[in-house]
Amino acid sequence: MSDLENKIFYPLIGDKFPEIKVQTTHGEFKLPDHYKKKWFVLFSYPADFTPVSATEFVAFTKRYEEFQNLNCELIGLSLDQVYSHIKWIEWIKQKFEVEIPFPIIADLGKLANILGTIHPQKGENSVRSVFVVGPKGIIKLIMFYPQEVGRFLDEILRVVEACQVADQENVFLPVNWPKHEFLGRQVLIPPAKDQETAKQQPKEYGSYDWWFCYKSLEYG
């Protein structure tokens, strides 16, 4: 049997999020159906009672309303039991006066293994990952971080909005959108796939060339 036949294939961007029942601090859910018609960000972290993860949970909570304004929910995941999650939530509330409003999955390794978030060089812990999932259960974005480095929440909020705009408007987005140095919040038109469209698009939109057309965004 070849190495390729032995290889485990993890979900990729554009795949349906794996259908699975999970036990959380808010009860049992079936993913991705629990968030039907909503976006959600599933983020894994190494373990409860770890310092970097504590700072992330406080930050996610303080930005939770911004995620909700994007019709997006949050759900955490680590290889800890529910009672550990509950005790850690109590600890965060006591130390930082922050009450965690979103659920945390108590995973025994099943979902983490499906998603590829367990790194063999990091023992039994789940690495830091981010899965942005759309309202039809399709994975839109995947990010992995080293265990030692906390996430940048501005970027996660940005990519949620960016993925929503790309979907709703059928457009591409430039680097650093919505703060591109000369396009600002404007968006890019997908390059033409035939000669007639290549002739028409520069007449309909702002243009640097037939393959580089842009327009103002009506979204938001």
Q: What's the confidence (pLDDT) of residue 123?
A: 63
Positions of the chain with pLDDT under 70: 1-9, 120-123, 219-220
Q: What's the confidence (pLDDT) of residue 127?
A: 87
For residue 218, give the amino acid letter.
E
Dihedral, 59, 61, 67, 71 alpha carbons, nearest 10: 160
Dihedral sign, Cα of residue 94, residue 97, residue 100, residue 104: negative
Q: What's the confidence (pLDDT) of residue 109?
A: 87
Number of Cβ atoms within 10 Å of the Cβ of 22: 20
CB 74 within 8 A of CB 39: no
Q: What's the confidence (pLDDT) of residue 1?
A: 45
164, with CB counted inside 10 A (0-12, 13-18, 19+), is buried
What is the C-alpha separation between 17 and 26, in angstroms, rounded?
20
What is the C-alpha separation between 95 and 91, in angstroms, rounded?
6
Which H or E element spans position 166?
helix 153-169
54-155-117 Cα angle (round to 5): 60
Copy the structure tokens of residue 215: 């327009």
What is the C-alpha separation between 207 and 58, in angstroms, rounded?
44
123, with CB counted inside 10 A (0-12, 13-18, 19+), is exposed
Ordered by where they begin, the domains of the chain are 3-151 (3.40.30.10), 170-220 (3.30.1020.10)
For residue 186, give the amino acid letter.
Q
What pTM, to 2 d.p., does this model score? 0.92
Beta strand 104-106 with 128-133 is: unpaired
Dihedral sign, Cα of residue 88, residue 91, residue 95, residue 100: positive
Three-class secondary structure of residue 95 per DSSP: helix
Q: What's the confidence (pLDDT) of residue 122?
A: 61
Copy the structure tokens of residue 187: 């968006």
